[in-house]
Amino acid sequence: MNKTIKTLSAAFALTLGAASLASCGQGGDEEGGGDMKMTVGYTAIGAAYSDLYVCEDQGVFKKNGLDVELKLLNSSSQLLSALASKSVDVGAGIVNATAAGALEGVDLDYVALPIPAYYQEMWGDPSIKSEDDLKGKKIGLSSPGSLGDTATDAWLEKKGWTETDVDKTFLKSTPAEVTALKKGAVDAIVTQPPTGTQTREHGFEKIMDFADIPAAANAYTVTSGYNKENRKAVEAFVKSEVECLSILHQDRDATVASIQKHSGNDDKELAEYSYDFFEPLWATKPTVDPELVQTSFDQAAADKGKEAPADVSKYIDNGMVEDLDQSGFIDDLYGK
């Protein structure tokens, strides 16, 4: 973990195949081998996971020796069980959802944080002209503990409101939110672009977004056991993540094409809208912010009636990102 990335980078292409064999029980090589199998779970349809889409479409995972299966979960509330049951090896989702499991003794490591803010939008009935107009309205969300639910709670706290000031309606999935809004079953929905954005075609309007509220919104998470037993695979994933974030920032056309392909709506205008929304939010150096993780643990502990840990550093593994940064690898990606 503390080995300098300069040494790692020099030896990476030569050793990755052997590391794959040692850590995953499979042989492979860096150039197109893709023999370290890994399932990556993401928690909603939309453009927030463009890093994963680009990594797949541009062959970055395979270049770094990974054979990745992307697996869609219905919401962040399913992420903990997916990690614990080993149905996914790496998961992306709001730390609040997985922190609840950590408080119950599940050993987790947060290894990268590409978006340190709530990246949700609220779309709804055009009669809602301001946030204050939402009092008493039905807000459609996917499930309790989802990113949208957590973002809504953060917004309510920011306004000094409580959950009784709005009527949360849980609909199990983001596509169900869109359907409910179209049918008039809810007044507004909370989703990531372009899922909610597409409702503008039906006369709905953007009420607000939550991007000004800091959060550990889509931290990449592994169990501590998987991180230890498959360290080279996790290193290859983090390296791929850093590379793909650089593509997001520097290749708009490729990113828009991936959003069209994977985000549930192939409309180019919506994909471009989504790119412009997310580009300022994507990190260049996806270090996990301890303060944001602490906030998530505090909230999860309060919800469960438990005491939050005073120090969450044992759940954070920034070593791989920091090694890549200190070696100059990240600067090189941006031509610095």
DSSP string, 305-325: T-PPPS--GGGB--HHHHHHH
pLDDT > 70? residue 152 = yes
pLDDT of residue 43: 87
Q: Which helix (H) or strand (E) holds 39?
A: strand 36-42
Cα-based torsion angle of the residue sequence 192, 161, 95, 171 in order, rounded to the nearest 10 degrees:
-50
Interval 288-307 mean pLDDT: 94
Interval 199-221 mean pLDDT: 96
Contact status, residue 322 vs residue 2, Cβ threshold 8 Å: no
Residue 27 binned pLDDT confidence (cut-offs 50, 70, 90): very low
pLDDT > 80? residue 320 = yes
- The whole-model pTM stands at 0.86
Domain 121-209 has CATH 3.40.190.10: yes
Query: Which three-class secondary structure state does DSSP give residue 215?
Result: coil
Cα(94)–Cα(210) distance, rounded to whole angstroms? 14
Interval 214-235 mean pLDDT: 96
- Identical fold for domains 5-117+215-333 and 121-209, yes or no, is yes
pLDDT of residue 16: 35
Lowest mean pLDDT among 144-148, 218-222, 317-321, 324-328: 144-148
pLDDT of residue 97: 87
pLDDT > 60? residue 123 = yes
Interval 115-137 mean pLDDT: 96
pLDDT > 50? residue 125 = yes
Find, among 288, 244, 124, the residue nearest to 297 by Cα.
288
> What is the per-residue pLDDT across 89-111, written as a single tens digit (0 to 9) for each?
999 999 998 998 999 999 999 99
pLDDT > 60? residue 291 = yes
pLDDT > 60? residue 28 = no
Identify which of 70-79, 128-137, 142-151 has the greatest average pLDDT: 128-137
- For 113, the token pair is 């944080």
pLDDT > 60? residue 139 = yes
pLDDT of residue 20: 37
- For 190, the token pair is 């909370």
Which residues, including other chains, have CB under 8 Å from residue 131's CB and lie 6 or more apart? 159, 207, 208
pLDDT > 90? residue 212 = yes
Domain 5-117+215-333 has CATH 3.90.740.10: no
Interval 3-18 mean pLDDT: 35
Residue 145 binned pLDDT confidence (cut-offs 50, 70, 90): confident
Residue 7 binned pLDDT confidence (cut-offs 50, 70, 90): very low
Residue 168 binned pLDDT confidence (cut-offs 50, 70, 90): very high
Q: Where are the domains of the chain?
A: 5-117+215-333, 121-209
pLDDT > 60? residue 17 = no
pLDDT of residue 76: 76
Average pLDDT of the chain is 89
Which DSSP symbol is given to 110?
Answer: E
Interval 118-141 mean pLDDT: 96
pLDDT > 70? residue 238 = yes
pLDDT > 50? residue 22 = no
pLDDT > 80? residue 11 = no
Interval 15-36 mean pLDDT: 43
Find, among 102, 208, 232, the residue nearest to 148 by Cα.
208
pLDDT of residue 310: 94
Lowest mean pLDDT among 27-36, 61-70, 293-302: 27-36
